[in-house]
Amino acid sequence: MTRFLSPIIAITIFVSFFRLGSVTLFDVDEAVFAEAAKEMVESGNWITPTYNGENRYDKPILFYWLIAASYKVFGINEFAARFPSAIASLLLVLLVFFFVRHFRGEKDAFYAAISLVLSIYFLAYSRAAVTDMAMTLFITISIFSFFLSLNKKRYYIYGFYLFSALACLTKGLVGIVFPFSIAVIYVLTAEGLSGIKKVFSLKGIILFMIVAAPWYIAEYIINGEDFIQQFFIKHHFKRYTGVISGHKGPVYYFIPVLIIGLFPWIAFLPAGIRNVFKEKDRLNSFAFIWLASIFIFFSLSTTKLPNYLLPAIPAASILIASGMTAQNKKWRQYSNLFMAIISVLIGIIFLISKRYLSKIGIPDTDWTLLITAIMTVIAILSFYSIFAKKELYGFISVLVVAFLFLFIAKGLPIANQYLQGTLYKYSLYAKERLHDDEKIITYRINNPSIVFYSEHKIINVRDKDELITFMKNSKHAIAITKTKDVEVLKKLGFNLLEKDEKYAIFERK
């Protein structure tokens, strides 16, 4: 074990596993994946995922299997739901480290791994019960395998197809689109049309079909046209060409996402991109095509979410490492100046947020001052590095670890209590009060955590007429809604039990 590997493993375990199950599941995505996997374990239906007792076609099967397997080992709880993502994150960091070390040496490998793991982007998705970290791992192995097949042994091409198939089973068509488009663009730029044949392998295609096709075929046989319409048309093509669930964003949406998500190491990305055009380095060129392809693809998409860019982050870490080891003194100075500016801006944001957080009812905001202090020190060190001959990456890394510790130990619990605390309490009340065959009414809200924690099905009602219809067929009911809709339920005979600034709970006997 090298001197760089031990700290990388220790830091990744801290970021991904420290207090992993200490907060309740966040709505919407975490809770719906956790509940669907729970229903899979309870029903024994391992083919078609269900949520709230209804078929769920948003994503393929593999990630549900991973969470369900984790439930079998650890029980049905928050830690188990998040465990597959945490393990995937550890494997991803190790993969990036060993891959970059193979081509560039330990120093670049260490910087690539550090810039990956010590970021808000990585922390958020390594600890979330969502598909993105597992999918990113599979896509990264696939893309690395292709690069190795060009530079080493041809048999690595089978890894390209195998892990593309696993990515396809994790999040759908992006598991095919990204690896193959990146591979094709790279060989076209590096070798011209003659290089295209290196992307394709008959045995590889057969391997892909053996791994990926059976579940898709089974789903079509079981659910027919409904599966095609929901999975492919709605959640793939319409998501790209139209707005799904209100997640619309401008074409520049992912620029601030990238800057904040990869802080502070994003400061070295411009220098790394410069090296692509100034140095004849195949790995840099490959990483740039990888990053640019995914960035452009999703920037042109109508529906946008921060997690969409996650499969490009390993490529960004390779370019950032190149920027951190750049020999050009002027560009190192630019990078440190960029880091200092971003640190100051983030420090100001947290300083201002202290007053805002207090106004919306969040107690204990002193931790924001600690983060402001950390940002100030990072800015000072960055300014110092502009004029010093020695880089201070080690000191900055320690400060980022402290920042992430505060984020995990203070920020996440406070955010969880603010966003989920009331719903968690109401869900436990419903669990205690309702009989097994009774359901919860959720009026004009979409919070899957209620299903998970109450252990009852919900009836999601969108208008007053639906609510009246339900009341005719049910004597005893519990309803949860936003506080602004309290009067609607009161007029229909529901008894208000409790409310806060966000949600209210009613009971009708």
Query: Residue 65 falls within a domain, yes or no?
Result: yes
Q: Which two tokens stand for residue 48?
A: 């078609």
Query: Residue 211 falls within a domain, yes or no?
Result: no
User: Out of 19-33, 414-428, 463-477, which region has the weakest mean confidence (pLDDT)?
Assistant: 463-477
Residue-level pLDDT at 195: 85
* Residue 498: domain span: 424-508
Query: Residue 81 falls within a domain, yes or no?
Result: yes
Query: Residue 366 falls within a domain, yes or no?
Result: no
Q: Which contacts (CB < 8 Å, 24+ apart) does range 397-405 have?
A: 397/114, 397/118, 399/374, 400/118, 400/264, 401/11, 401/14, 401/118, 402/374, 403/371, 403/374, 403/375, 404/15, 404/118, 404/120, 404/123, 405/14, 405/18
Asked, as a colleague might, if the bond just before 117 is cis with ω within 30 of 0, I would say no
At 455-470, the pLDDT tens digits run: 999 999 888 888 888 7
Strands (E), 216-274: none
Compute the average pLDDT of residues 147-158.
Answer: 89
Query: Residue 275 falls within a domain, yes or no?
Result: no
Compute the average pLDDT of residues 145-168.
Answer: 93
293 close to 345: Cβ distance less than 8 angstroms = no
Give the domain-ending residue among 72, 97, 130: 130
Give the domain-ending residue among 130, 156, 175: 130
Is residue 246 predicted with pLDDT exceeding 70?
Answer: no
Compute the average pLDDT of residues 475-484.
Answer: 89
Who has greater pLDDT, 200 or 151?
200
CA–CA separation, 11 vs 295, rounded Å? 28
Query: Residue 90 falls within a domain, yes or no?
Result: yes
Give the domain-ending residue among 88, 106, 130: 130
457 close to 442: Cβ distance less than 8 angstroms = no
270 close to 336: Cβ distance less than 8 angstroms = no
Burial class (CB in 10 A: 0-12, 13-18, 19+), 373: middle
Query: Residue 23 falls within a domain, yes or no?
Result: yes
User: Out of 73-82, 359-368, 385-394, which region has the weakest mean confidence (pLDDT)?
Assistant: 359-368
Compute the average pLDDT of residues 364-393.
Answer: 85
Residue-level pLDDT at 398: 92
Compute the average pLDDT of residues 278-285.
Answer: 88
Confidence of residue 247 (pLDDT cuts 50, 70, 90): low
Query: Residue 479 falls within a domain, yes or no?
Result: yes
481, β-bridge pairs: 443, 504
CA–CA separation, 439 vs 456, rounded Å? 6
Residue-level pLDDT at 471: 76
Count structural domains, the chain: 2
